Amino acid sequence: MSLTICTECFARLRITQSVQSTSSRTFSTTAAQAGSAGSRKTKSNKAYYREATNRVIKKKPRVIPKLPMIGERKALRKRIVLSNTNALEVHGMQDLNVKNMADEEQVGQVLGLNGQLLDQLRELKAFKPTQNWNMFRKPGTLMRRESVALGRTILDIKAGQAEKRPRTVRRIVAGDRSTGKSLMLLQAMSMAFMNEWVVINVPEGMFSSRWMISQLTASRSGVYNCSLRICSDGFNVREAAITGSSSPNPALTVPGITSDYV
Amino acid sequence: MYDQPKLTAELLQRISKSNERVLKSLPLAHAHKLEDHHPKDLYRLATIGAENSSLSWKIWQALWKELTFPSEHKRPPVLVALDGIDHWMTLSKYRSSEFHPIHAHQLAPIRHFLEILFNKDGGKKLANGGLILAATTGSNAPSVPTFELLLKQLEAKEQGLKLGDEEFPMPEPYKVVDGRVLDLLDGSDELNVQRLKGLEKDVEARGLLEYFARSGVMREVVSQTTVGEKWSLAGGGVVGELARFGKRLRI
Protein backbone atom coordinates (compact mmCIF):
# COMPACT_ATOMS: atom_id res chain seq x y z
CA MET A 1 0.00 0.00 0.00
CA SER A 2 1.52 3.26 -0.94
CA LEU A 3 0.48 6.41 0.77
CA THR A 4 1.30 9.85 -0.51
CA ILE A 5 1.23 12.48 2.11
CA CYS A 6 2.86 15.87 2.21
CA THR A 7 5.63 16.06 4.75
CA GLU A 8 4.03 19.07 6.34
CA CYS A 9 0.98 17.03 7.32
CA PHE A 10 3.25 14.20 8.38
CA ALA A 11 5.26 16.51 10.59
CA ARG A 12 2.07 17.83 12.14
CA LEU A 13 1.00 14.41 13.43
CA ARG A 14 1.68 14.63 17.07
CA ILE A 15 1.18 12.35 19.97
CA THR A 16 -0.89 14.61 22.16
CA GLN A 17 -0.62 14.34 25.82
CA SER A 18 -3.97 13.00 26.74
CA VAL A 19 -5.36 12.75 30.18
CA GLN A 20 -4.10 9.76 32.11
CA SER A 21 -6.69 7.13 31.36
CA THR A 22 -7.81 4.60 33.88
CA SER A 23 -5.79 1.47 34.36
CA SER A 24 -5.57 -0.82 31.36
CA ARG A 25 -8.28 -3.36 30.91
CA THR A 26 -7.44 -7.01 30.85
CA PHE A 27 -8.80 -9.39 28.27
CA SER A 28 -10.96 -11.21 30.73
CA THR A 29 -12.74 -9.47 33.54
CA THR A 30 -13.43 -12.56 35.60
CA ALA A 31 -10.25 -12.39 37.54
CA ALA A 32 -10.70 -8.70 38.28
CA GLN A 33 -14.25 -9.21 39.44
CA ALA A 34 -13.26 -12.01 41.69
CA GLY A 35 -10.65 -9.81 43.20
CA SER A 36 -7.41 -10.75 44.84
CA ALA A 37 -7.17 -12.36 48.24
CA GLY A 38 -6.86 -9.09 50.04
CA SER A 39 -9.55 -7.16 48.32
CA ARG A 40 -12.55 -9.38 48.80
CA LYS A 41 -15.27 -7.67 50.76
CA THR A 42 -15.90 -9.07 54.20
CA LYS A 43 -19.43 -7.75 54.46
CA SER A 44 -22.07 -9.72 52.68
CA ASN A 45 -24.16 -7.93 50.14
CA LYS A 46 -27.22 -10.03 50.72
CA ALA A 47 -30.29 -7.94 50.22
CA TYR A 48 -32.97 -8.28 52.90
CA TYR A 49 -36.62 -7.91 52.16
CA ARG A 50 -37.45 -4.26 51.49
CA GLU A 51 -34.12 -3.11 52.53
CA ALA A 52 -31.68 -1.40 50.29
CA THR A 53 -28.45 -3.14 49.74
CA ASN A 54 -25.72 -1.17 51.20
CA ARG A 55 -23.20 -1.63 48.56
CA VAL A 56 -19.96 -0.01 49.34
CA ILE A 57 -19.21 1.96 46.27
CA LYS A 58 -15.69 3.04 46.25
CA LYS A 59 -15.56 6.64 45.26
CA LYS A 60 -12.83 7.19 42.77
CA PRO A 61 -10.99 10.41 43.22
CA ARG A 62 -12.01 12.92 40.58
CA VAL A 63 -9.43 13.20 37.86
CA ILE A 64 -9.00 16.84 37.01
CA PRO A 65 -7.19 17.09 33.69
CA LYS A 66 -4.30 19.46 33.69
CA LEU A 67 -5.26 22.08 31.15
CA PRO A 68 -2.56 24.01 29.36
CA MET A 69 -2.06 27.59 30.42
CA ILE A 70 -4.08 30.34 28.82
CA GLY A 71 -2.53 31.20 25.51
CA GLU A 72 -0.33 28.11 25.30
CA ARG A 73 -2.33 26.32 22.64
CA LYS A 74 -2.64 29.50 20.61
CA ALA A 75 1.08 30.11 20.86
CA LEU A 76 1.66 26.54 19.71
CA ARG A 77 -0.56 27.07 16.69
CA LYS A 78 1.03 30.33 15.71
CA ARG A 79 4.64 29.55 16.35
CA ILE A 80 7.18 29.99 13.61
CA VAL A 81 9.92 27.41 13.32
CA LEU A 82 12.71 28.57 11.07
CA SER A 83 15.17 25.74 11.27
CA ASN A 84 15.05 22.00 11.11
CA THR A 85 18.16 20.02 11.93
CA ASN A 86 16.81 16.97 10.13
CA ALA A 87 17.27 18.72 6.82
CA LEU A 88 20.61 18.61 5.13
CA GLU A 89 22.84 21.63 5.04
CA VAL A 90 23.13 23.08 1.58
CA HIS A 91 26.78 23.79 1.00
CA GLY A 92 27.62 26.81 -1.03
CA MET A 93 24.38 28.61 -0.22
CA GLN A 94 25.03 32.32 -0.23
CA ASP A 95 23.34 34.78 2.04
CA LEU A 96 21.27 37.65 0.75
CA ASN A 97 23.35 40.79 0.91
CA VAL A 98 23.55 44.21 -0.66
CA LYS A 99 25.68 43.00 -3.56
CA ASN A 100 23.68 40.04 -4.76
CA MET A 101 20.18 41.37 -4.19
CA ALA A 102 20.05 43.00 -7.61
CA ASP A 103 22.26 40.56 -9.45
CA GLU A 104 20.77 38.89 -12.53
CA GLU A 105 23.05 35.89 -12.05
CA GLN A 106 21.18 35.02 -8.86
CA VAL A 107 17.88 34.25 -10.57
CA GLY A 108 17.01 30.69 -9.65
CA GLN A 109 19.26 30.66 -6.60
CA VAL A 110 18.01 30.36 -3.07
CA LEU A 111 19.70 32.94 -0.88
CA GLY A 112 19.80 32.56 2.88
CA LEU A 113 18.65 35.02 5.50
CA ASN A 114 21.05 35.41 8.34
CA GLY A 115 21.15 36.20 12.05
CA GLN A 116 20.06 39.68 12.95
CA LEU A 117 17.85 40.02 9.90
CA LEU A 118 15.84 37.03 11.09
CA ASP A 119 15.18 38.64 14.46
CA GLN A 120 14.03 41.82 12.78
CA LEU A 121 11.74 39.97 10.40
CA ARG A 122 10.34 37.82 13.17
CA GLU A 123 9.61 40.91 15.22
CA LEU A 124 7.73 42.45 12.30
CA LYS A 125 5.65 39.31 11.81
CA ALA A 126 6.99 38.78 8.31
CA PHE A 127 6.87 34.99 8.59
CA LYS A 128 3.61 33.10 8.43
CA PRO A 129 2.99 29.74 10.13
CA THR A 130 1.62 28.25 6.92
CA GLN A 131 4.87 28.76 5.02
CA ASN A 132 7.36 25.95 4.87
CA TRP A 133 10.25 27.41 6.88
CA ASN A 134 10.34 24.40 9.16
CA MET A 135 11.48 22.06 6.40
CA PHE A 136 14.97 23.42 5.90
CA ARG A 137 18.09 23.84 7.92
CA LYS A 138 18.45 27.52 7.20
CA PRO A 139 15.74 29.94 6.05
CA GLY A 140 16.14 31.11 2.49
CA THR A 141 14.15 32.65 -0.35
CA LEU A 142 14.19 31.95 -4.04
CA MET A 143 15.35 34.84 -6.19
CA ARG A 144 12.98 35.35 -9.09
CA ARG A 145 13.25 37.85 -11.88
CA GLU A 146 10.73 39.95 -9.99
CA SER A 147 12.88 39.79 -6.84
CA VAL A 148 15.93 40.99 -8.70
CA ALA A 149 13.89 43.80 -10.23
CA LEU A 150 12.68 44.72 -6.76
CA GLY A 151 16.28 44.78 -5.52
CA ARG A 152 17.20 47.11 -8.33
CA THR A 153 14.28 49.41 -7.47
CA ILE A 154 15.34 49.54 -3.83
CA LEU A 155 18.92 50.39 -4.73
CA ASP A 156 17.68 53.07 -7.10
CA ILE A 157 15.49 54.67 -4.44
CA LYS A 158 18.41 54.62 -2.03
CA ALA A 159 20.64 56.28 -4.60
CA GLY A 160 17.92 58.83 -5.25
CA GLN A 161 17.73 59.70 -1.59
CA ALA A 162 21.47 60.23 -1.44
CA GLU A 163 21.37 62.44 -4.52
CA LYS A 164 18.42 64.48 -3.20
CA ARG A 165 15.93 63.35 -5.85
CA PRO A 166 13.53 61.35 -3.71
CA ARG A 167 11.67 58.67 -5.58
CA THR A 168 8.53 56.97 -4.30
CA VAL A 169 7.34 53.72 -5.79
CA ARG A 170 3.81 52.56 -5.05
CA ARG A 171 2.93 49.08 -6.09
CA ILE A 172 0.25 46.44 -5.58
CA VAL A 173 1.42 42.85 -5.89
CA ALA A 174 -1.50 40.76 -7.05
CA GLY A 175 -1.84 37.24 -8.33
CA ASP A 176 -3.48 33.92 -7.70
CA ARG A 177 -3.19 31.85 -4.59
CA SER A 178 0.32 30.69 -3.61
CA THR A 179 2.08 32.72 -6.27
CA GLY A 180 4.50 34.19 -3.76
CA LYS A 181 3.02 37.59 -2.93
CA SER A 182 3.71 37.53 0.79
CA LEU A 183 7.21 36.26 0.14
CA MET A 184 7.76 39.14 -2.24
CA LEU A 185 6.94 41.44 0.68
CA LEU A 186 9.34 39.51 2.88
CA GLN A 187 12.10 39.87 0.34
CA ALA A 188 11.40 43.59 0.11
CA MET A 189 11.62 43.86 3.90
CA SER A 190 14.90 41.94 3.98
CA MET A 191 16.42 44.11 1.31
CA ALA A 192 15.23 47.27 3.03
CA PHE A 193 16.69 46.16 6.37
CA MET A 194 20.02 45.47 4.72
CA ASN A 195 20.02 48.94 3.24
CA GLU A 196 19.14 50.45 6.63
CA TRP A 197 15.74 51.75 5.77
CA VAL A 198 12.87 52.15 8.20
CA VAL A 199 10.55 49.22 7.64
CA ILE A 200 6.88 49.22 8.54
CA ASN A 201 4.90 46.03 8.07
CA VAL A 202 1.19 45.55 8.50
CA PRO A 203 0.62 41.80 8.57
CA GLU A 204 -2.52 40.29 7.16
CA GLY A 205 -5.68 41.06 8.99
CA MET A 206 -4.04 43.27 11.53
CA PHE A 207 -6.55 46.09 11.58
CA SER A 208 -9.63 44.42 10.25
CA SER A 209 -9.52 40.96 11.74
CA ARG A 210 -12.64 39.85 13.53
CA TRP A 211 -11.08 38.02 16.41
CA MET A 212 -8.75 40.64 17.68
CA ILE A 213 -10.07 42.21 20.79
CA SER A 214 -9.65 45.85 20.19
CA GLN A 215 -11.16 49.03 21.29
CA LEU A 216 -12.42 51.49 18.77
CA THR A 217 -12.59 55.15 19.57
CA ALA A 218 -14.43 57.54 17.33
CA SER A 219 -13.33 61.13 17.45
CA ARG A 220 -15.65 63.65 15.88
CA SER A 221 -14.97 67.34 16.47
CA GLY A 222 -15.31 67.77 20.19
CA VAL A 223 -17.65 64.92 20.96
CA TYR A 224 -15.77 61.92 22.18
CA ASN A 225 -17.95 59.04 21.24
CA CYS A 226 -16.64 55.81 22.60
CA SER A 227 -18.11 52.78 21.03
CA LEU A 228 -16.84 49.57 22.48
CA ARG A 229 -17.27 46.35 20.69
CA ILE A 230 -15.70 43.17 21.85
CA CYS A 231 -15.74 40.53 19.25
CA SER A 232 -14.07 37.26 19.94
CA ASP A 233 -14.92 33.61 20.06
CA GLY A 234 -16.47 32.65 23.34
CA PHE A 235 -16.99 36.16 24.65
CA ASN A 236 -20.31 37.89 24.83
CA VAL A 237 -20.72 40.69 22.40
CA ARG A 238 -21.43 43.80 24.35
CA GLU A 239 -21.84 47.29 23.22
CA ALA A 240 -21.59 50.44 25.24
CA ALA A 241 -21.99 53.92 23.84
CA ILE A 242 -20.93 56.90 25.84
CA THR A 243 -21.12 60.41 24.54
CA GLY A 244 -19.82 63.62 25.82
CA SER A 245 -17.10 62.57 28.18
CA SER A 246 -13.63 63.67 27.37
CA SER A 247 -11.82 60.67 28.74
CA PRO A 248 -12.67 57.00 28.54
CA ASN A 249 -14.57 55.68 31.53
CA PRO A 250 -12.32 53.08 33.12
CA ALA A 251 -15.29 51.19 34.47
CA LEU A 252 -16.50 50.47 30.98
CA THR A 253 -13.26 49.66 29.23
CA VAL A 254 -12.18 46.08 29.02
CA PRO A 255 -8.48 45.36 29.02
CA GLY A 256 -7.60 44.10 25.60
CA ILE A 257 -5.68 40.90 25.19
CA THR A 258 -3.15 41.35 22.45
CA SER A 259 -2.54 38.55 20.07
CA ASP A 260 1.21 38.76 19.84
CA TYR A 261 2.57 35.32 20.58
CA VAL A 262 5.15 35.12 17.86
CA MET B 1 -13.58 57.79 11.57
CA TYR B 2 -12.56 55.31 14.18
CA ASP B 3 -9.19 54.93 15.82
CA GLN B 4 -7.76 51.65 16.92
CA PRO B 5 -5.49 52.62 19.79
CA LYS B 6 -4.36 49.20 21.01
CA LEU B 7 -3.57 47.87 17.56
CA THR B 8 -1.72 51.05 16.69
CA ALA B 9 0.27 50.65 19.90
CA GLU B 10 1.11 47.09 18.89
CA LEU B 11 2.25 48.28 15.48
CA LEU B 12 4.44 50.94 17.06
CA GLN B 13 5.99 48.38 19.36
CA ARG B 14 6.89 46.15 16.45
CA ILE B 15 8.33 49.01 14.46
CA SER B 16 10.36 50.30 17.37
CA LYS B 17 11.82 46.89 18.20
CA SER B 18 12.74 45.83 14.71
CA ASN B 19 14.11 49.21 13.60
CA GLU B 20 15.75 49.97 16.92
CA ARG B 21 19.21 50.75 15.68
CA VAL B 22 18.11 52.99 12.83
CA LEU B 23 15.47 54.86 14.84
CA LYS B 24 17.87 55.52 17.70
CA SER B 25 20.10 57.41 15.34
CA LEU B 26 17.35 59.76 14.13
CA PRO B 27 16.58 62.81 16.29
CA LEU B 28 13.27 64.66 16.18
CA ALA B 29 12.96 67.37 13.57
CA HIS B 30 9.48 68.77 14.21
CA ALA B 31 7.65 69.89 17.31
CA HIS B 32 4.85 67.66 18.51
CA LYS B 33 2.30 68.21 21.23
CA LEU B 34 2.67 65.21 23.46
CA GLU B 35 1.58 65.69 27.07
CA ASP B 36 4.71 65.72 29.22
CA HIS B 37 6.71 63.46 26.97
CA HIS B 38 9.83 64.82 25.37
CA PRO B 39 11.39 62.04 23.37
CA LYS B 40 14.89 62.66 22.16
CA ASP B 41 14.85 60.33 19.19
CA LEU B 42 12.37 58.42 17.05
CA TYR B 43 12.94 55.16 18.92
CA ARG B 44 11.86 56.80 22.14
CA LEU B 45 8.87 58.37 20.36
CA ALA B 46 7.67 55.02 19.06
CA THR B 47 8.17 53.38 22.45
CA ILE B 48 6.02 56.01 24.16
CA GLY B 49 3.26 55.22 21.67
CA ALA B 50 3.65 51.51 22.29
CA GLU B 51 3.37 51.92 26.05
CA ASN B 52 0.48 54.40 26.11
CA SER B 53 -2.28 53.23 23.84
CA SER B 54 -4.32 56.36 24.43
CA LEU B 55 -1.59 58.39 22.75
CA SER B 56 -0.75 55.82 20.11
CA TRP B 57 -2.61 57.29 17.17
CA LYS B 58 -1.21 60.76 17.78
CA ILE B 59 2.27 59.35 18.07
CA TRP B 60 1.82 57.33 14.92
CA GLN B 61 0.94 60.49 13.04
CA ALA B 62 3.93 62.26 14.59
CA LEU B 63 6.25 59.42 13.63
CA TRP B 64 4.94 59.39 10.09
CA LYS B 65 5.46 63.13 9.82
CA GLU B 66 9.00 62.79 11.11
CA LEU B 67 9.85 60.12 8.60
CA THR B 68 8.25 61.59 5.50
CA PHE B 69 8.16 65.39 5.79
CA PRO B 70 11.09 67.40 4.51
CA SER B 71 13.54 68.44 7.19
CA GLU B 72 17.18 69.35 7.50
CA HIS B 73 18.00 66.02 9.12
CA LYS B 74 19.07 63.13 6.97
CA ARG B 75 16.44 60.41 7.02
CA PRO B 76 16.49 57.00 5.37
CA PRO B 77 13.80 55.93 2.90
CA VAL B 78 10.77 54.10 4.22
CA LEU B 79 9.35 50.75 3.19
CA VAL B 80 5.68 50.19 3.98
CA ALA B 81 4.64 46.59 3.41
CA LEU B 82 0.91 45.90 3.55
CA ASP B 83 -0.29 42.32 3.44
CA GLY B 84 -3.81 41.26 2.64
CA ILE B 85 -5.38 44.50 1.47
CA ASP B 86 -8.47 42.63 0.27
CA HIS B 87 -9.71 42.73 3.84
CA TRP B 88 -9.58 46.51 3.68
CA MET B 89 -11.93 46.84 0.74
CA THR B 90 -15.08 45.63 2.38
CA LEU B 91 -17.06 46.04 5.55
CA SER B 92 -15.17 45.38 8.72
CA LYS B 93 -16.60 43.21 11.47
CA TYR B 94 -17.10 46.17 13.73
CA ARG B 95 -20.38 47.93 14.20
CA SER B 96 -21.14 51.48 15.21
CA SER B 97 -23.11 52.48 18.26
CA GLU B 98 -26.22 52.50 16.07
CA PHE B 99 -25.31 48.96 15.05
CA HIS B 100 -24.55 49.88 11.46
CA PRO B 101 -21.59 47.96 10.06
CA ILE B 102 -18.43 50.02 9.82
CA HIS B 103 -16.66 50.02 6.48
CA ALA B 104 -12.96 49.33 6.66
CA HIS B 105 -12.27 52.72 5.09
CA GLN B 106 -13.70 54.36 8.18
CA LEU B 107 -10.98 52.91 10.35
CA ALA B 108 -8.21 55.46 10.73
CA PRO B 109 -5.12 53.24 10.35
CA ILE B 110 -6.52 51.54 7.26
CA ARG B 111 -7.50 54.89 5.77
CA HIS B 112 -4.03 56.23 6.42
CA PHE B 113 -2.29 53.35 4.68
CA LEU B 114 -4.65 53.45 1.73
CA GLU B 115 -4.04 57.17 1.33
CA ILE B 116 -0.33 56.54 1.24
CA LEU B 117 -0.73 53.73 -1.25
CA PHE B 118 -3.14 55.39 -3.63
CA ASN B 119 -2.07 58.99 -3.09
CA LYS B 120 -5.26 60.43 -4.53
CA ASP B 121 -4.58 64.13 -4.11
CA GLY B 122 -0.86 63.84 -4.48
CA GLY B 123 -0.52 65.06 -0.92
CA LYS B 124 1.23 62.07 0.54
CA LYS B 125 4.75 62.51 -0.68
CA LEU B 126 7.69 60.83 0.90
CA ALA B 127 10.39 63.47 1.24
CA ASN B 128 13.11 60.86 1.57
CA GLY B 129 11.79 58.46 -1.00
CA GLY B 130 10.47 55.04 -0.28
CA LEU B 131 8.60 52.01 -1.42
CA ILE B 132 5.00 51.24 -0.62
CA LEU B 133 4.23 47.65 -1.41
CA ALA B 134 0.84 46.08 -0.90
CA ALA B 135 -0.07 42.46 -1.49
CA THR B 136 -3.46 40.97 -2.05
CA THR B 137 -4.29 37.70 -0.46
CA GLY B 138 -5.27 34.58 -2.32
CA SER B 139 -6.10 31.85 0.11
CA ASN B 140 -7.75 33.96 2.76
CA ALA B 141 -9.48 36.42 0.50
CA PRO B 142 -12.94 37.73 1.11
CA SER B 143 -14.67 37.93 -2.21
CA VAL B 144 -14.71 41.60 -3.13
CA PRO B 145 -15.69 41.97 -6.79
CA THR B 146 -15.33 45.74 -6.61
CA PHE B 147 -11.70 45.43 -5.63
CA GLU B 148 -10.99 43.01 -8.46
CA LEU B 149 -12.59 45.50 -10.79
CA LEU B 150 -10.42 48.26 -9.33
CA LEU B 151 -7.27 46.24 -10.03
CA LYS B 152 -8.38 45.73 -13.61
CA GLN B 153 -9.06 49.44 -13.93
CA LEU B 154 -5.62 50.27 -12.57
CA GLU B 155 -4.02 47.95 -15.10
CA ALA B 156 -6.07 49.50 -17.88
CA LYS B 157 -4.95 52.94 -16.70
CA GLU B 158 -1.32 51.86 -16.94
CA GLN B 159 -1.90 50.85 -20.52
CA GLY B 160 -3.18 54.31 -21.28
CA LEU B 161 -6.93 53.77 -21.29
CA LYS B 162 -9.11 56.33 -19.59
CA LEU B 163 -12.45 56.24 -17.85
CA GLY B 164 -14.50 57.16 -20.90
CA ASP B 165 -12.91 54.67 -23.28
CA GLU B 166 -14.77 51.73 -24.67
CA GLU B 167 -12.41 49.08 -23.41
CA PHE B 168 -12.06 50.49 -19.95
CA PRO B 169 -13.32 47.90 -17.45
CA MET B 170 -16.63 49.01 -16.00
CA PRO B 171 -18.82 47.36 -13.36
CA GLU B 172 -21.33 44.89 -14.60
CA PRO B 173 -24.85 46.21 -14.98
CA TYR B 174 -27.24 45.50 -12.13
CA LYS B 175 -24.39 44.70 -9.78
CA VAL B 176 -23.96 46.63 -6.57
CA VAL B 177 -20.54 48.20 -6.37
CA ASP B 178 -18.77 49.77 -3.46
CA GLY B 179 -18.35 53.46 -4.18
CA ARG B 180 -15.58 53.92 -1.65
CA VAL B 181 -13.41 51.33 -3.32
CA LEU B 182 -13.94 52.62 -6.83
CA ASP B 183 -13.17 56.16 -5.68
CA LEU B 184 -9.62 55.04 -5.06
CA LEU B 185 -9.09 55.06 -8.80
CA ASP B 186 -8.92 58.86 -9.01
CA GLY B 187 -5.41 60.19 -8.86
CA SER B 188 -3.27 57.12 -8.26
CA ASP B 189 -1.07 57.84 -11.23
CA GLU B 190 2.06 56.49 -9.63
CA LEU B 191 0.51 53.22 -8.61
CA ASN B 192 1.23 50.15 -10.64
CA VAL B 193 -0.09 46.64 -10.34
CA GLN B 194 2.29 43.71 -10.61
CA ARG B 195 0.68 40.35 -11.35
CA LEU B 196 2.72 37.43 -10.16
CA LYS B 197 2.49 34.35 -12.29
CA GLY B 198 4.29 31.03 -12.21
CA LEU B 199 8.01 30.52 -12.18
CA GLU B 200 10.09 30.03 -15.28
CA LYS B 201 10.60 26.36 -15.90
CA ASP B 202 14.27 26.14 -16.75
CA VAL B 203 15.84 28.56 -14.32
CA GLU B 204 13.62 29.42 -11.39
CA ALA B 205 11.60 26.22 -11.00
CA ARG B 206 14.68 24.10 -11.48
CA GLY B 207 16.61 26.15 -8.96
CA LEU B 208 13.88 25.75 -6.37
CA LEU B 209 13.61 22.00 -6.84
CA GLU B 210 17.38 21.63 -6.73
CA TYR B 211 17.37 23.41 -3.38
CA PHE B 212 14.69 21.03 -2.14
CA ALA B 213 16.73 18.06 -3.33
CA ARG B 214 19.94 19.32 -1.78
CA SER B 215 18.19 19.82 1.55
CA GLY B 216 17.07 16.24 1.49
CA VAL B 217 13.41 17.13 1.28
CA MET B 218 12.84 15.94 -2.26
CA ARG B 219 14.08 12.43 -2.91
CA GLU B 220 13.97 12.43 -6.68
CA VAL B 221 16.50 13.15 -9.32
CA VAL B 222 16.13 16.70 -10.61
CA SER B 223 16.10 16.29 -14.36
CA GLN B 224 14.38 18.08 -17.17
CA THR B 225 11.55 15.51 -17.12
CA THR B 226 10.84 15.71 -13.41
CA VAL B 227 11.11 19.49 -13.35
CA GLY B 228 8.78 19.74 -16.32
CA GLU B 229 6.36 17.31 -14.74
CA LYS B 230 6.15 19.20 -11.48
CA TRP B 231 6.02 22.55 -13.23
CA SER B 232 2.98 21.46 -15.23
CA LEU B 233 1.22 19.95 -12.26
CA ALA B 234 1.79 23.16 -10.36
CA GLY B 235 -0.36 25.04 -12.84
CA GLY B 236 2.51 26.50 -14.77
CA GLY B 237 5.02 26.78 -11.95
CA VAL B 238 3.03 28.44 -9.18
CA VAL B 239 5.58 28.57 -6.35
CA GLY B 240 3.43 27.30 -3.52
CA GLU B 241 2.17 24.34 -5.49
CA LEU B 242 5.66 23.55 -6.74
CA ALA B 243 6.92 23.53 -3.18
CA ARG B 244 4.18 21.13 -2.18
CA PHE B 245 5.22 18.74 -4.92
CA GLY B 246 8.80 19.08 -3.86
CA LYS B 247 8.13 18.05 -0.30
CA ARG B 248 5.81 15.19 -0.97
CA LEU B 249 6.51 12.15 1.11
CA ARG B 250 6.06 8.68 -0.29
CA ILE B 251 5.68 5.94 2.26
Residues 184-243 of B with CB under 8 A from A: 188, 190-200, 203-204, 206-208, 211, 214-217, 238-241, 243
- Exposed/middle/buried for B115, CB within 10 Å: 0-12, 13-18, 19+? middle
SS (H, E, C) A33-88: HHCCHHHCCCCCCCCCCCCCCCCCCCCCCCCCCCCCCCCHHHHHHCCCCCCCCCCC
List pLDDT tens digits, range B62-73. 999 999 999 888
How sure is the predictor about A241, in pLDDT bands with cuts at 50, 70 and 90? very low
How far A17 CA lies from chain B's nearest CA (Å)? 26
- Chain A residues in contact with B3 by the CB 8 A cut-off are 216-219
Give the ipTM.
0.94
pLDDT band at A164 (very low <50, low <70, confident <90, very high): confident
What digits encode the pLDDT tens for the residues A15-57? 665 555 555 555 666 655 555 665 665 556 566 677 666 666 7
Residues B251, B234: Cα–Cα separation, whole Å? 22
Q: Is B25 on the interface with A (CB under 8 A)?
A: no
Of B3, B129, B139, the CB nearest to A166: B129
Of residues B95 and A126, which shows the higher confidence score? A126
Q: Which of B141, B106, B200 is nearest to A107 (CA)?
A: B200
Q: Residue B50: is its pLDDT beyond 90?
A: yes
A202-216, B97-111, B180-194: the lowest-pLDDT one: A202-216
What is the DSSP annotation of B168-227? S--PPTT----HHHHGGGSS--SEEEEEE-PPPIIIIIHHHHHHHHHTTS--S---HHHH
Q: What is the pLDDT of residue A233?
A: 33
Q: Is B163 at the interface with chain A, CB within 8 A?
A: no
Query: Cα–Cα distances in Å, from B201 out to A108, B43, B58, B187, B197?
Result: 10, 45, 50, 38, 12
Closest of A178, B239, B138 to residue B231, by C-alpha: B239
Name every chain B residue with its beta carbon within 8 A of the beta carbon of A225: 97
Instruction: Please enumerate in sequence order all residues whose Cβ is within 8 A of that of B188, keeping only pairs 6 or more positions apart, or say none.
Output: A170, B118, B119, B120, B154, B157
Given this model, what pLDDT does residue A207 score?
Answer: 82
Contact of B29 with B40, CB cutoff 8 Å? no
pLDDT mean over B13-40: 91
Burial readout B237-251 (b: 16 or more C-beta within 10 A, e: otherwise): bbbbbbbbbbbbbee
Average pLDDT, stretch A115-127? 94
- All residues of chain A having their beta carbon less than 8 Å from the beta carbon of residue B5 are 215, 217
Q: What is the pLDDT of residues B118-132, one digit of tens each?
A: 987 777 788 999 999
> Which of A178, A190, A230, A239 is the best substitution to test chain B (most B C-beta atoms within 10 A)?
A178
Q: At what angle do helices B42-51 and B56-68 cross, to 10 degrees?
A: 160
Instruction: Work out the mean pLDDT of chain B and round it to a whole number.
Output: 91
With beta carbons under 8 A apart, name residues in chain B contacting A107.
Answer: 203-204, 207
E strand residue ranges, A189-244:
198-202, 216-220, 223-229, 239-242
**How high is the pLDDT of residue B41?**
92
Give A 220-249 residues with CB within 8 A of chain B.
Answer: 220, 225, 227, 229, 231, 239, 241, 248
* B211–A208 C-beta distance less than 8 A: no
Q: What is the pLDDT of residue A255?
A: 43
Residue A27 CA: distances (Å) to CA of A23, A30, A224: 13, 9, 72
Residue B184's pLDDT is what?
87
Mean pLDDT of A63-82: 92
* CA-based torsion, B215, B221, B224, B226: positive or negative: negative
Residues of B in contact with A145 (CB under 8 A): 200, 204
* B contact residues 102-141, partner A, Cβ 8 Å cutoff: 102, 104, 107, 109-110, 113, 116-119, 125-140
Query: What is the pLDDT, as a whole number, of residue B185?
Result: 85
Residues of B in contact with A8 (CB under 8 A): 247
User: Is A157 part of the contact surface with chain B (CB cutoff 8 Å)?
Assistant: yes
What is the model's pLDDT at position A40? 60
How far is the C-alpha of A76 from the C-alpha of A7, rounded, in Å?
A: 19
Position B32 pLDDT exceeds 60? yes
According to the model, what pLDDT value does residue A111 have? 96
**What's the average model confidence in pLDDT over B199-211?**
94
- For residue A109, the distance in angstroms to the closest alpha carbon of chain B comes to 6
pLDDT at site A251: 39
**pLDDT classification of A124: cutoffs 50, 70, 90:** very high
pLDDT > 90: percent of chain A: 48
Q: What is the pLDDT of residue A220?
A: 40
pLDDT at B81: 97
- Is residue B61 within 8 A of residue B75, CB to CB? The reply is no
User: How far apart are the CA of A221 and the nearest CA of chain B, in angstroms?
Assistant: 11
**What residues of A are in contact with residue B244 (Cβ under 8 Å)?**
6
> Min CA distance, A100 vs chain B (Å)?
16
Helix (H) or strand (E) holding A123: helix A115-123
Which residue in the set B138, B200, B251 is minimally distant from A3, CB to CB?
A: B251
Nearest to A200 among B80, B87, B128 (CB): B80
Q: Does A173 touch chain B (CB under 8 A)?
A: yes
Residue B235 has pLDDT above 90, yes or no: yes
